[in-house]
Amino acid sequence: MGNSYANQGLAFIHGTGKQTDAYNDYWTGSFVNSVRQGLTNSNKFTVVNCDFDKFMWHEDAVGCLADQLNSFITNENITELILLTHSNGGNVVRWILSNPTYDSRYPNIISKTNKVIAVAPSSLGTPLADAATQGNTFETSLGWLLGYNSDAVKQQQVSWMTYYNNNWLSGTNGRPVLPTTFKAIVGSDVDSAFWDSDSYCAGYQYQVALETTQNWLDSCSDGFLECSSQSGAGTVWFKDKDKTSGKEPLSHQQSRRDCFNLDVIIRNDI
């Protein structure tokens, strides 16, 4: 638990995609409402809606995020901010944390941020973004996951993320450390056996699609990101099976849902 005198706040920050109702469409109410019970005051939370189809530094992406976080900090008088990110949302947050002088809106957020819990962050990018950008045939099966040829997809190509990590972003190997804790939850596998009820958490069809895309990745992946990418910035908090109920893996879809006690694990850490 945080300092009892602190005014804790929690922000849910979605991944790639243009969100207008991330509460329902990206996270689901059951996940949000479970996780926020970890707060001293469970009403001190916000669900961000921005256009993360754009490059992370774009005004519609990081500018939107900065505005929404600063409004939340001001309106709720937050002194200790926890950021819960998923996937590419971790990169947008790292942009703020890594570039305090880039924008006058950033320092207030940085000074208030107590920690980032980064669920399946795409810190080192993904070969799937390379494949989608090159227009490989399986691009259609990636549409629901990545969107189509957006700037955010280009951004998550492995070589592009290497460039950003080396020049603009902190927290990866050999780079300056981030100004606050950035701890990653790593998804390591996809389970889509139709006879296994666990495959149905967060939608069976997504597990099947992720098992297809997993063939393009190394043996440790959540169907979208390799474990190495998820582990690439900050520190690893845990790999799914080390803490999930039944030692179940978390696919990239399941890691933004209340699957296998994930919501309770995060709630208890807040």
Q: In what order do the strands lie in the sheet with 181-186?
A: 45-47, 8-13, 80-86, 113-119, 181-186, 235-239
Which helix (H) or strand (E) is 183 found in, with range? strand 181-186
Residue 135 pLDDT exceeds 90: no
- Reduce the DSSP state of residue 20 to 3 states and report it: coil
With 0-12 CB in 10 A as exposed, 13-18 as middle and 19+ as buried, what is 46?
buried
- Averaged pLDDT score across all residues of the chain: 93
| Residues 6+ positions from 125 with CB-CB distance below 8 Å | 155, 156, 157, 158, 159, 160, 161, 162, 229
Q: What is the spatial distance between Cα 165 and Cα 161, in angstroms, rounded to a whole number?
A: 6
Q: What is the spatial distance between Cα 149 and Cα 116, in angstroms, rounded to a whole number?
A: 28
What pLDDT, on the 0 to 100 scale, is given for residue 134? 80
Helix axis angle for 64-76 and 89-98, nearest 10°, is 80
Backbone angles phi, psi at 130, to 5 degrees: -60, -45
What pLDDT, on the 0 to 100 scale, is given for residue 144? 59
| Residues 6+ positions from 180 with CB-CB distance below 8 Å | 97, 110, 113, 114, 115, 116
CA angle 255, 248, 89 (to 5 degrees): 15
- Tell me the percentage of the chain whose pLDDT exceeds 90: 81
* Total residue length of the chain: 270
pLDDT class of 138 with cuts at 50, 70, 90: low
Residue 13 pLDDT exceeds 80: yes
Residue 140 pLDDT exceeds 80: no
What pLDDT, on the 0 to 100 scale, is given for residue 256? 97
What pLDDT, on the 0 to 100 scale, is given for residue 215? 85
- Spatial contact of 96 and 68, defined as CB atoms under 8 Å apart: no
Q: What is the spatial distance between Cα 113 and Cα 13, in angstroms, rounded to a whole number?
A: 13
- Reduce the DSSP state of residue 192 to 3 states and report it: coil
What pLDDT, on the 0 to 100 scale, is given for residue 193? 87
Q: Write out pLDDT tens, residues 60-115.
A: 999 999 999 999 999 999 999 999 999 999 999 999 999 999 999 999 999 999 99
- Tell me the percentage of the chain whose pLDDT exceeds 70: 94
More confident residue, 83 or 193: 83
The terminus-to-terminus CA distance of the chain in angstroms comes to 6
Residue 27 pLDDT exceeds 70: yes
- The one-character DSSP state at 178 is P
What pLDDT, on the 0 to 100 scale, is given for residue 142? 66
Which tokens is 23 given? 């509460």
> Which of the residue ranges 84-98, 109-123, 148-162 would you say has the lowest mean pLDDT?
148-162
What pLDDT, on the 0 to 100 scale, is given for residue 60? 98
Q: Write out pLDDT tens, residues 222-270.
A: 999 999 999 999 999 999 999 999 999 999 999 999 999 999 999 999 9
